[in-house]
Amino acid sequence: MNDLERYEVTKKDLTKGKRMKLAAWTMPFALSIIPFAALFIPFLITGSIPLFFFSFIVALAGFVIGLIISGILAYRYANWTKEMRERIAADGIRAEEIDWFKNELKSGEKKALKEMQASNLLLADAYRETLASRLTATRIVKTSKKELLLAKRRENKIRTLKSENAKEFQAEVKKDIEKISSINREAELMLAEAESRLQMIEAASMRGGSLADSELALKKLSARSQQLPLALEEAKMHEELKKQLESELNEKDLKEINSN
């Protein structure tokens, strides 16, 4: 698991995102204002009425075309942002990365974080760290449930196979089910701890106190937020390998049937 590298958001990634977002916002205005100015300035010089009306028609057409292009760019930007979030979350969300996941924060969490950042930076840092753990745990719970369902379906399919290797595959898939179930339980525990910690930090912020004993608990949550995603990723890769083996086994059985 330690061989898996943590994904780091680069300046190139940030620049690409900013350009896509800027282009999506400015395209309708750029395609309407620039052609309009190019035609309206000659109108001011010549006083041609047809040129005046044509400049407005061109501006309107450019605005409509710009809206279409803007919609395409906005769609691509949304997909790119989703892909970036998945890459970041794959090995555990860190405190400095939660801005990528603002849409997954609860309204109360956003409000509490904003107030802490204005009044107590120490509590704000602890709150961001715990939010990162909460976000990671929530994602792992959802993903592990999905993977667990798929693993159980594969187990049922293997039971129907009449092959010498079927029992071996079934035992391997059973191990995967136990591993994913363990990850799911650990993630649910981590989620409960994170939510409890968030409430404690919010309470400390409201009474103007501090969390002198928070360091150990936050380190514990941080460690889990890094270890669990990697464990789940390893289980998922193991599942993919098992799926390929099953496919090869099925193809082999079909060839034997056809040859007979």
What's the confidence (pLDDT) of residue 70? 92
88-111, pLDDT tens digit by residue? 887 778 888 888 888 889 889 999
Q: How far apart are CA 82 and CA 77, in angstroms?
A: 9
What's the confidence (pLDDT) of residue 1? 39
**Average pLDDT over every residue of 145-173:** 77
pLDDT at 237 over 50: yes
Which of 33-42, 100-109, 125-134, 156-165 has the weakest average pLDDT?
156-165
C-alpha distances (whole Å) from 129 to each of 123, 163, 196, 219, 260 are 10, 50, 13, 9, 63
In this prediction, residue 75 has a pLDDT band, given cuts at 50, 70 and 90, of very high
Residue 17, C-beta contacts closer than 8 angstroms, at least 6 positions apart:
77, 80, 81, 84
**Average pLDDT over every residue of 114-134:** 85
Residue, of 214 and 29, whose pLDDT is higher: 29
- Average pLDDT over all residues of the chain: 77
174-183, pLDDT tens digit by residue? 888 888 888 8
Residue 67, C-beta contacts closer than 8 angstroms, at least 6 positions apart:
27, 28
CB 63: neighbour CB atoms within 10 A?
A: 19
Domain positions in the chain are 1-89, 94-260
In this prediction, residue 213 has a pLDDT band, given cuts at 50, 70 and 90, of very low
Q: How far apart are CA 215 and CA 217, in angstroms?
A: 6
**Average pLDDT over every residue of 132-158:** 84
C-alpha distances (whole Å) from 36 to each of 42, 45, 50, 133, 176 are 10, 14, 13, 52, 63
13-46, pLDDT tens digit by residue? 888 888 988 988 988 888 888 888 887 777 777 7
pLDDT at 54 over 60: yes
> Does residue 20 contact residue 84 with C-beta atoms inside 8 Å?
no
What's the confidence (pLDDT) of residue 247? 63
Please give the torsion angle defined by the CA atoms of residues 111, 122, 86 and 175, in that order, rounded to the nearest 10 degrees.
-110
